[in-house]
Structure formats: C-alpha cells, structure tokens
Structure 1
Amino acid sequence: MMRTAADETEVYRLIPRLKAFTVKGADVQPGDHLYQYKHQAGVRVGAMWCGRVPGGTEWDRYRVNFRQADFPWGYGSISPLVEYPVQRSGVYVEGWSPEDCDKRRNELFEELRRVELDGEDAELRPIFDPDRRTYSVQLWKAGELAATHGTTDNFRYSEEPLEAIDAFLSEQGITRAITDDEAFRVRAGLKYARGGMEWAAFTG
C-alpha cells in the first residue's frame, strides 16, 4: 500500500496497533492473540485464573479461556515456561514509555474534535449525529460557526465528507486544498465522534 504524508503524523504513530513478539506463558495477558502451535490459527485470550487440574487435585495457575474468530469461548491451559508467539495491541513509539504514549495519545485524540487549518483563521470540527446516524464537518471561523458540510448530504460513512471537502471550503472562501495530514485528522475525528465499533476498528 502506498504511504502518504499522513502515515508520518504524530496521531498515526500513536494509534494502538497489534505488534507480534514472543513471551513466556507466565507473561501472556488477557486480550493477547496467542498461537499455541506452529500451524494453528491464533486464538484470543480471555480471562486467566487459578483452577484445579481437570481430574486431579493439583492447582493450575494458568487456566485460560480461548476464542478463535467467532467461535464460542473454550477452555484450556498454557505452560508458564513455554514461549508463545503473541500479537498484542498497544502503542509502540521508540524511546517513549507506555505511560507517556498513553498520555500523549489521549491528548491528541481530544484534539481531533478541532482540526485547525494551517495558515487560516479557521478550524474543522468533525460531527456524528447519533439520531440520523450521519456524519458532517463544521467550519468555524474566528470562533464562530460559519457553515456545515453534510447538512443535506446524508453522509453515512466517515470517508464521504472528505470526498468534496475542498469544494465546500472553496465556497466558504478557503481556496487551498486541505493537506494529507489535515484530511487524516478529520477522518480520524469523524471516527472518534462516532465512537463504538467504528472507533475501535480504527484504533485496534
């Protein structure tokens, strides 16, 4: 897939994503996608607890519920000393602690509510209407609402408002096209405004 300028933005780098690595069973966490065997499909790890070994009296500290794709949850056990390939969702920025990543990411996501246009006294505010289930983008100038892109367009998907955003801005006196970075932040802001599965799919 072709990379764009948006791929290098701070927002993009701080979006949680799956990373693959190997950990011992003792370090497996709920939410991990775990591969028990070389040719087995990955399973999602659910709750982990201490329980009796089936048919015995010993305690097994690594009882786990697994789920593969949309199949029902099953039960099993992992060894604390065996290494397992896992995929884990998280933020990975070189030189940053997880705490710093979380703090900065949350700040940036809050900033997605207002996307300032460089060189213009204007900003775009991504909006999702839960009653109509439609998206729109408000244009604010000098702190006041100037116009709304999508009032009558019935945008059902978060990508649709961006298809004619330049024409909308031109009608409002902003003649330059929005940059790749601005477009990415508006699109992210629309998904953030929707929340739920739309936002989870974007950041997961």
Structure 2
Amino acid sequence: MNEEIGSRIASLFFGLFMFFFGLPFTLVPFLMFSDGAIDINYPFESLFMIAFTIPFLMAGLFVQFMALGLIRAGMSGTVDPTSIPRELPPGPDALSITEHPDQSYIGEYLRQPEAINGRDWYKKPAETKRLYYYAQNQGGSAGWSLDDREDAGSRDWFDGGWLPYKGFEIPLGRKQWNVDDGKWVSIEESEPKDAKKWWQ
C-alpha cells in the first residue's frame, strides 16, 4: 500500500468520525423542538431556548462540513499534476536565471516535455533544480516555485523561493521573490546551449 492510498484511507475514516461526532450537535435543536421544549405560549423561554441551540447547530454544521470535505478528498484522491492539460502553447525552450541569492540556482534551465499543473516547467541539466508552477495541490498559495528536490509538482516545496502568481505566463524579468526575506530573482528567455543554427 503506497503513501497516497494510506493517506486517502486515513482521510476517509477521520472524515466519517468527524461527521458522526458533529451529528449530535446538529440534532440538538430538532430534538428540543420535538420534545416540546419550545412552546409559543412561553415566548421568552422559547426565545432563550432558540438562542441556546443556535451555537450547537452552527458548531455541528461546521464540523460536518469539514468532515464532508475530508470524505470527498479520501474518495477522490489527489489530482496528478502532470495530467492537467497545458493551458498555453509551449513556451521558450530554455530559460536562464541570471540573479538569485543562492548562486547554485543561477544558470540555464531547459523546458521539459510534459506540463505540470497546466504550465511549462524547467529543469537545470544534470541537476534536480527546477522551476515549476504549484497549484495549491496540498494547500498553501499558488505560484511559481524554485526547488532542488524530485517531485511531480504536487508538493508545496520552494527551497529556492516562490513567487505568488495565478496566471499562466512564465515569470520572466527581475522580480522580488519570497526567498531570503524578499531578494530579487531574474529570469530571462534564452536559447539552449546545444541548439544549432540553421546554417551550422
């Protein structure tokens, strides 16, 4: 059993537990109505009982709403970032990071054949450093990430910084990334070093 299946089963069972945990709170007002605790002949007492039951009802509905989200996540699972279709035509074949507080991220990045989260992603040749779009697959904020770990784009990793952005275009230019207290990162379009001209 892999990690994803185990996580889905845990989410499903915890969601079911939370749903039934919140059920008594949700049922309190209805039980009081059916028991005759609220009588229109005693308006002040009835108003007090209604006000008394509202927090129970709201708490129960809140817990059950969260539980339904967990159950849904457990049943559907996570979306494979590489299965999301590309939203735009393929971008530049290569990018060059010319400014970054961590010198190891500076250099050429090549566009990879498949898309991640509907966008192009780029990888440094012979290294694990990559530029990809994170689409809030595991929470956090959507945006472009720089990281040095192997991943399909589902994790909120950004050791090299991240740039909050919800568009589809590559963040070209000199921008202030969330890295080392807001340092600048410059990304430029470039041509692969091994690309040959038509006359060569």
TM over 0.5: no
TM-score norm. by structure 2 comes to: 0.23
- Higher Cα Rg: structure 1 or 2? 2
Structure with the larger strand share:
1
Of structures 1 and 2, the one with the larger relative CO (CA 8 A, separation 6+) is 1
TM-score norm. by structure 1 comes to: 0.23
